[in-house]
Chain A
Amino acid sequence: MIERRGHAGSATRRRANSVIFLGPAIVLTVLFFVVPVIIDIAVSFTDLSRSLRITEFTTEQYEKVFRTDRRLSQVIGLTFIYVFGTLAIFNVTFGLILAITTTAIRNVSGSFFRGVWLLPRMSPSVLYILLWLWAVSPTEAGLVNQVLMQVFGLDAPLDLLTSAPIALIIISNGFIGASMGMIIFTAAIRGIPEHLFHAAAVDGAGTFATIRFITLPALRWPISFVTIYQTLSLLVSFEYILLLTKGGPFYDTTVYALYVYRRAFESGQYGYGAALALFLIVIGVVVALIGWRFFDMERLLQRPRIEVQ
């Protein structure tokens, strides 16, 4: 009798627990993911525009996506270059180099250099981009031009915003993106048992062999995680590009997410923007699922197996 009551009690308790612990997350997911997606889908089947009046339900927006919008292929190509360029050069590679070098040198100076690379992430986006605008200003006062003209003897100032806009958006985003990889990789490197490095040294491994055989294998999961996480965030965010180049010149630096924004809010084609956004949502979910499957993200999120040393 007593035992049975205990069971009933614990079942209620379990239900209560799941409501208490999962409730807030579920509410947030519904409010900020499910509901907006439904609204987005609904809007994408209308001709909603600046007038904010729906005159008909239509699949016209999707026809536009697949048939008539000729700018879209250029936007998608640029998005590829932007996402993979930023990821490969900065968020993973440069983050790795920063983590490996700053953990190899003395603790104090290592922390200092990591701190320096964290600064851009901590400063407000507008301020950060203002600095960039000053650095690449096409006049003689711009930092880059000052260096080029006074140190390297260049004759006339360069207009990088016009001549190399894609490189600029990759570099400006990369300088910020590298810090996340750096932090995660640093933590992972710190987690490698010190005796492994000692063993490798005694076994004859030099610096590069140690990185290749000890450090990098231990970073497999963190690298997967950073790759997926940053792919998603690069795909959907465009604030730095909007502030730095406004997507220009013309559409030269308009990545997909910014294209959605420009279509919806600059041209006032809300219905078309919604249809475009839906693809972004689908890609986001697919990439997240791929990550879950192929990169062992599931194991990353499992409870840690403590190494007995």
Chain B
Amino acid sequence: MAKIEFRHVVKRFGAVDVIPDMNLVIDDGEFVALLGPSGCGKSTSLFMLAGIYLPSGGELLFDGRVVNEVEARDRNVGIVFQSYALYPHMSVRDNILFPLRFKKTPRDEALARVKAVAELVRVEELLDRRPGELSGGQQQRVALARALVKEPELLLLDEPLSNLDASLRLSMRTEIKSLHAQLGVTTLLVTHDQIEATTMADRIICMRAGRIEQVGTPDDLYLRPSSLFVAGFIGSPPINLIAGDAEGGMVAVNGARFPVEGASGRLTVGLRPEHLRFADTGFPGRIAQIEPMGREILYVVETGMGAVRVLEQGSSAGHSTGEEVKVSFLPENSLVFETERQKLIAGAHVRAPD
């Protein structure tokens, strides 16, 4: 198992700095998710760890050893590609066996390990088939087996669930997580899906345009997003972001006014739909739309400060479209950001009007 470190790592393609300056430590045995929108440089970071891309600058360390120039094959890294990248003309057995060919593992031992890892990811029935004859979920398991068979120090998963259907995705999520608990291998999961990241990883690295925006536990990112970007990216349905101006302890948004503590100037208030509730006091508004989501109901409420989303527990709507309501929340659940710098103002809160 390995401890991974990025020190001022730069990756350039031509004149473009895809990763301008990356600094990060991943501890031995951790399960970390690299989360960010498409094109933000997640795969690029992963490929540098695998040795497929060489960093253009800075240092990449495995267990304190600089590996910038170490070839992919000498790194002992297992990787599952987004496309799975199974060798199409080889049987599943030969695919899983492939990494052991180059380690001079004795044939018997190699076959035993293939069998063991195939059982681990439950593809032992498929060993004689070709990748083309497998479903997406099965291909994904085979790709996992191929990555695990050489007992890597570091397991890299590039959007491993994005090609699976919803129910398979759910079960693979659980399986990958329990595999990690079982094997203890340092794991880096790349995903653009915040639910995947928050449900699977111990720690999340949120990226935006090649830069790390915030690193923390799922709770950190949810409860204390350091920026508007993270606040908007984490949470579903997305957080309500309301821009306004604060003066003398009051925020003004489109005519609506309510108290603020610990901040002034141009602010953006963040209120998560699940923290909002209907009450006797609060922002007056009218229900414009109702979206049942199974065990929750999402209301879109037109208020003086614009449309806000309110999420309420329960499977049947307690309110109807057009109804006049008041929306309230606990002050400690509110987030306040500086609009200009897009940063969280720690300790600042807003309060619903009485």
Contact = CB atoms under 8 A, between A and B. Distances in A.
Given A198-B50, A213-B98, A217-B89, A204 B83 contact: no
B79 A202 contact: yes
Interface string B124-138: 000000000000000
Given A198-B47, A198-B52, A204 B101 contact: yes
A196 interface: yes
Contacts, number: 66
B139 to A, nearest CB: 11
Contact of B52 (A202, A209, A214): A202
A124 interface: no
Contacts of B90: 213
Interface in B65-102: 71-73, 75, 77-79, 81-83, 85, 87-90, 98-99, 101-102
A217 B98 CA distance: 15
A202 B50 CA distance: 7
B99 A201 contact: no
Interface of A is mostly: helix
A208 B303 CA distance: 68
A12 interface: no
Given A199-B79, A201-B52, A206 B73 contact: yes
B105 to A, nearest CB: 11
Contacts of B75: 202
B97 to A, nearest CB: 10
B87 A204 contact: no
Nearest to B76: A204
A203 B50 contact: no
Nearest to B149: A203
A7 to B, nearest CB: 38
A196 B51 contact: no
Nearest to A309: B83
Contacts of A309: 83
A193 interface: yes
Interface in B309-347: none
B103 interface: yes
Interface in A188-203: 193, 195-196, 198-203
A205 interface: yes
Interface size class of A (residues with CB under 8 A): 10 to 19
B73 A199 contact: no
Interface in B244-268: none
A214 B87 contact: yes
A203 B288 CA distance: 56
A198 B99 contact: no
Contacts of B78: 202
A195 B101 CA distance: 19
Given A196-B87, A213-B98, A217-B89, A201 B81 contact: no
Contacts of A201: 51-52, 71-73
A279 B123 CA distance: 55
A91 B306 CA distance: 72
Nearest to B73: A204
Contacts of A218: 89
B113 interface: no
A200 B95 CA distance: 10
B146 A203 contact: yes
A206 B50 CA distance: 15
A218 B82 CA distance: 21
Contacts of A202: 50-52, 72-73, 75, 77-79
B149 to A, nearest CB: 9
B103 A204 contact: yes
A199 B81 contact: yes
B338 to A, nearest CB: 42
A220 B88 CA distance: 13
Interface in B25-69: 47, 50-52
Which has the most chain B C-beta neighbours within 10 Å: A193, A204, A214?
A: A204
Contact of B85 (A198, A206, A220): A198
Given A198-B79, A204-B150, 7 more contacts: A195-B85, A200-B87, A200-B98, A203-B99, A203-B102, A204-B99, A309-B83
Interface of B: 47, 50-52, 71-73, 75, 77-79, 81-83, 85, 87-90, 98-99, 101-103, 146, 150
8 contacts: A193-B83, A193-B85, A196-B85, A198-B85, A202-B51, A202-B73, A203-B98, A204-B101
Interface of A: 193, 195-196, 198-206, 209, 213-214, 217-218, 220, 309
In the A-B complex, the 5 residue pairs with the smallest Cβ-Cβ separation, listed nearest first, are: A204-B102, A195-B85, A204-B73, A203-B99, A199-B85
